[in-house]
Amino acid sequence: GENVEQHPSTLSVQEGDSAVIKCTYSDSASNYFPWYKQELGKRPQLIIDIRSNVGEKKDQRIAVTLNKTAKHFSLHITETQPEDSAVYFCAANRGGSQGNLIFGKGTKLSVKP
Amino acid sequence: GAGVSQSPSNKVTEKGKDVELRCDPISGHTALYWYRQSLGQGLEFLIYFQGNSAPDKSGLPSDRFSAERTGGSVSTLTIQRTQQEDSAVYLCASTPIINTEAFFGQGTRLTVV
């Protein structure tokens, strides 16, 4: 079935450094790519999303890039802060218009002060 | 307004018993998802409801799992003859229309002893 691969599974950075998380997807019909942040013991929450008609989207310290040809998209966090520490999940919609979200396995980001 | 509500928050059951998990999505949301999250793991897709369309059940791990959504609103996930490997947090999410932000409930932590 459709698959979303996410790397790395864990990432440790120093405060102020940048963090990059990468995902690939297999369904060529996918056209919606959200990123969710899950803090310990809490529910996942959307932090940014991108649709297939754009290649990049930025919101303050976070940005997402999309390469449709290569079927991969990435999350970039600049000037990381300890409160960025969490598990980050990428997702892609299955079958495009169907809307079903398939998630990657997550990246545990640790930002060391 | 109220977010996605799940009940119970915690459920401890004996192996072999049946359990029902409930999800109340945000009013008016047409799409509803069930995911399973084992300790420290990713979001495993289970089932997806979208409007009046036939649900996507492709993620259900065995025929012991079933779900229904009544009246396009409340959903119930049923696990029959529970096994220890069913222990996990079961998360429900809803979206107002497809390919937009999914709002997650707080989850039901199921422990099978």
In chain A, the residue whose alpha carbon lies closest to the alpha carbon of B44 is A103
Mean pLDDT of B91-105: 92
- Closest by Cβ to B91, choosing from A43, A46, A99: A43
| Residues B33-51: tens digit of each pLDDT | 999 999 878 899 999 999 8
CA distances from B19 to A73, B6, B78 (A): 38, 14, 6
Q: What is the largest CA-CA distance in chain B?
A: 38
Report CA A86 to chain centroid distance, whole Å.
12
Contact assessment for residue A84 and residue A18, using Cβ atoms and an 8 Å cutoff = no
Tell me what pLDDT residue A99 has: 74
> Which residues of chain A lie closer than 8 angstroms to B91, CB-CB?
43-44
Mean pLDDT of B53-73: 92
Among B residues 44-103, those touching chain A with beta carbons less than 8 Å apart: 45, 48, 50, 56, 58, 91, 95, 98-99, 101-102
Collapsing DSSP states into helix, strand and coil, what is residue B56?
strand
> Which residues of chain B lie closer than 8 angstroms to A46, CB-CB?
101-102
**Chains A, B: CB pairs < 8 Å:** 56
CA distances from B90 to A103, A104, B9, B25 (A): 15, 17, 10, 14
Tell me what pLDDT residue B97 has: 83
Has residue B1 got a pLDDT over 70? no
Contact assessment for residue A14 and residue A77, using Cβ atoms and an 8 Å cutoff = no
Tell me what pLDDT residue A2 has: 67
